[in-house]
Structure 1
Amino acid sequence: MPKLLRGAVAAALAFAALPACAQVPSASGPAATADADPALWVVKDADTTVYLFGTVHVLKPGMSWFDEAVKTAFDGSKEVVLEIADLDPKAAQQVAIAKGLNMSGPGLTEKLPVDKRAAVTKALTDLGLPQQAYDRMDPWLAAVTLVAAPLEKLGFKGDSGAEKVITASAKGASKQLVGLETIEQQLGYFDSISEPEQVKFLVSAAEDLPQLGREMERMIDTWARGDADGLAAIMNENLKDSPEVARILLTNRNKRWAEWINGRMAQPGTVFVAVGAGHLAGAGSVQDQLKAYKLRATRVKY
């Protein structure tokens, strides 16, 4: 698979809000049947414990991951921290429209390289979008729509995603829910990417869209096996081809989250932090950034 597609998928899946922005419908699935053991880390001092769990925002029904050590860590935590606390799909769509639509200036098609326009146009119209709908989109919004919108048809459900399950469980147990970011911040990161990089993202997503399902399966299988190094190779390494995107979507956010964790270590208690799995994998991960504060994240074996 071309590197840029992996980067595009990784970028899209790095954000909890994007499936909602792309208006992916929800659906229920059968009871869990396949066991998964995704990676879990812990940071401790004398009176504070912070668990770090890497999530996948959309999953196929029938995967049992919220059990064993992950469930034990969750149950023992009074505070649950997500990228966005209690994501509102309607609010996400409104913010996406506000940030991602441009009603003046050149249309989307004009921003594309001439030799790439046919592929991008076909991909967008195949989603059922008329030109007048997508031509006012910024390239980043068109790109994440292309990646996120087909996921439901491919069998990947937002309702089965880790955030949805964790949020419902936290509410049911009356645990405190905390968000590291807002919807405005998350979509603002995409909006801050330079237009040439946004166009590269969009062209890659459009040209290689037929391989999306296979790449998703590979990512989720690697996550389910707890293979953090493998996940880093799939999701993050390919973003090195676009240092700007990697800095905005991954590295800078990891630094901010590590700073938040360092501050939280000053308060006693047990905290369950659940963020996109790509943020806890590879060089520059949250675990790496914690070293600046002399904090060590240890893998929980189970």
Structure 2
Amino acid sequence: MPPPLRPSRLRSVRRRALALAALVLAAVPAVAAFPGLASASAAAADVGTLWRVRDGAGTVFIAGSLHQLRRDRAGLPPSYGLAYGEAERLAMELDMDGISPAVLAGELVTRALDPDGRSLRDGLPAASWRTLQPRLAGLGLPEAVIDRFEPWAVALLLASAEFLQRGYSPESGVEGQLQASAAADRKPIDGLETPAEQFELFDGLPRTDQVQLLEVTLKELDGVGPRLDALEGAWRAGDLQRLEALLLGDYRQRPDLHERLVLRRNAAWVAPVRGFLRRPDDTLVVVGLMHLLGERGLIALLRQQGLKPERFVAGAWRPDP
């Protein structure tokens, strides 16, 4: 059992958590997509993944997001700017403007620390614990502190730090850019979920699944650059088939995780989207790419409800499919 944390040490952990909490949330889909991605070059034309649904009083635009983009190539597809210009309000997985950073950090620390006092080191293979040590040193987090963390939290912190070191940031991501524009233009933003709900996606995983997530993250971190390039290239090209292969392929081997992390949330978002359609103003909904793909993606679920999504392709709205 690791020694108790001194108050000064706990305050230090909280300060670091404050800096990393937003990154943790932004890293969730990227961690889930680590296994199996192949390298690909970025596409020349920025098509993106954007749909429009019309029914009732308002129009809803639905844009697929990469939560983090590299700062040196953070430009959004032009169609996203068009949809943003027409929308009077936005909806995202989280409304970060409405969340206190201090509260977010406190939530992270509370959930990250194992409530049963189990040792992370004792629950990991010795080789994985050794691989973890230089990563911890880079984060400035002492071994004694991390030993009290749950595996899911360590996996997300490692991924967040790796993205940051590679030049990625939430501020450069799709939501980050649109959120900054909305703040300047005084456009309201609705959140489809709360931070607590997003943390629970991982905090509620069985311990064995958490350990597996951490081990996969440790193995994949060094090769994440080509994988992120592949994902961004397919997104910019609007290549839905490629995106499904990249983002959903590995989930087919873990249908339980797919159900928990993706499909249940897709189904929960149908009602809010239908509610936005009843509003007299137009709404731009921005969610992670993964949620718009496949037979149980948000677009397919709306189609099953009798709506007729259109996709923005080659400069015009076209029926989809």
Shorter-chain TM-score category? Answer: 0.7 to 0.9
Answer with 71-80 or 84-93: which moved more: 84-93
Q: Which amino acid aligns with 2:230?
A: R
Q: Which amino acid aligns with 1:73?
A: A
The answer to whether structure 1 residue 213 and structure 2 residue 225 are counterparts is yes
1: CA distance, partners of 2:253 / 2:133: 25
User: Which of 95, 99, 115 is the equivalent residue of 1:85?
Assistant: 95
User: Which sections of structure 1, spanning at least 5 residues, go unmatched?
Assistant: 1-16, 24-33
Is the contact between residue 234 and residue 243 of structure 2 (CA under 8 Å) also seen in structure 1? yes
The answer to whether structure 1 residue 59 and structure 2 residue 51 are counterparts is no
User: Which of 160, 163, 168 is the equivalent residue of 1:156?
Assistant: 168
1: CA distance, partners of 2:26 / 2:294: 28
Q: Which amino acid aligns with 1:267?
A: R
Is the contact between residue 77 and residue 271 of structure 1 (CA under 8 Å) also seen in structure 2? yes
Q: Deviations over 1:13-52 (max 9, x none)?
A: xxxx6515699xxxxxxxxxx8633110111124321100
Q: Which amino acid aligns with 2:23?
A: P
2: CA distance, partners of 1:116 / 1:240: 26
Q: CA deviation at 1:249?
A: 1.1
| 2:318 alignment counterpart | none
| 1:145 alignment counterpart | 157
Is the contact between residue 26 and residue 170 of structure 2 (CA under 8 Å) also seen in structure 1? no
2: CA distance, partners of 1:245 / 1:123: 26
Distance 1:241 1:114, change over 3 A: farther
The answer to whether structure 1 residue 299 and structure 2 residue 311 are counterparts is yes
Q: Which has the higher helix share?
A: 2
| 1:261 alignment counterpart | 273
User: Which sections of structure 2, spanning at least 5 residues, go unmatched?
Assistant: 1-20, 28-43, 316-321
2: CA distance, partners of 1:75 / 1:103: 46
Is the contact between residue 25 and residue 198 of structure 2 (CA under 8 Å) also seen in structure 1? no
Answer with 75-84 or 285-294: which moved more: 285-294
Q: Which amino acid aligns with 1:19?
A: L
Percent identity over the alignment is 26
RMSD: 2.5
| 2:292 alignment counterpart | 280
User: Which of 223, 230, 240 is the equivalent residue of 1:228?
Assistant: 240
Q: Deviations over 1:85-119 (max 9, x none)?
A: 13554433221111121254321111224554333
Q: CA deviation at 1:62?
A: 3.4
Count residues with an aligned counterpart.
277
Answer with 84-93 or 290-299: which moved more: 84-93
Q: Which amino acid aligns with 1:150?
A: E
Is the contact between residue 56 and residue 162 of structure 1 (CA under 8 Å) also seen in structure 2? yes
User: Which of 23, 29, 47 is the equivalent residue of 1:19?
Assistant: 23
Is the contact between residue 78 and residue 270 of structure 1 (CA under 8 Å) also seen in structure 2? yes
2: CA distance, partners of 1:159 / 1:240: 31
| 2:257 alignment counterpart | 245
Q: Which amino acid aligns with 1:139?
A: P
Distance 1:73 1:187, change over 3 A: same
Q: CA deviation at 1:215?
A: 1.2
2: CA distance, partners of 1:144 / 1:168: 24
Q: What TM-score results when the alignment is normalised by the length of structure 2?
A: 0.78
The answer to whether structure 1 residue 101 and structure 2 residue 105 are counterparts is no
2: CA distance, partners of 1:67 / 1:245: 30
Q: Which amino acid aligns with 1:51?
A: F
2: CA distance, partners of 1:92 / 1:37: 34
2: CA distance, partners of 1:65 / 1:35: 12
SS of equivalent to 1:106: coil
Q: Which amino acid aligns with 2:218?
A: A
SS of equivalent to 1:256: helix
Distance 1:180 1:21, change over 3 A: closer
User: Which of 113, 118, 142 is the equivalent residue of 2:130?
Assistant: 118
Is the contact between residue 79 and residue 271 of structure 1 (CA under 8 Å) also seen in structure 2? yes
Q: CA deviation at 1:274?
A: 0.6
The answer to whether structure 1 residue 41 and structure 2 residue 55 are counterparts is no
1: CA distance, partners of 2:145 / 2:26: 13
Q: Which amino acid aligns with 2:72?
A: G
Q: What TM-score results when the alignment is normalised by the length of structure 1?
A: 0.83
1: CA distance, partners of 2:157 / 2:167: 16
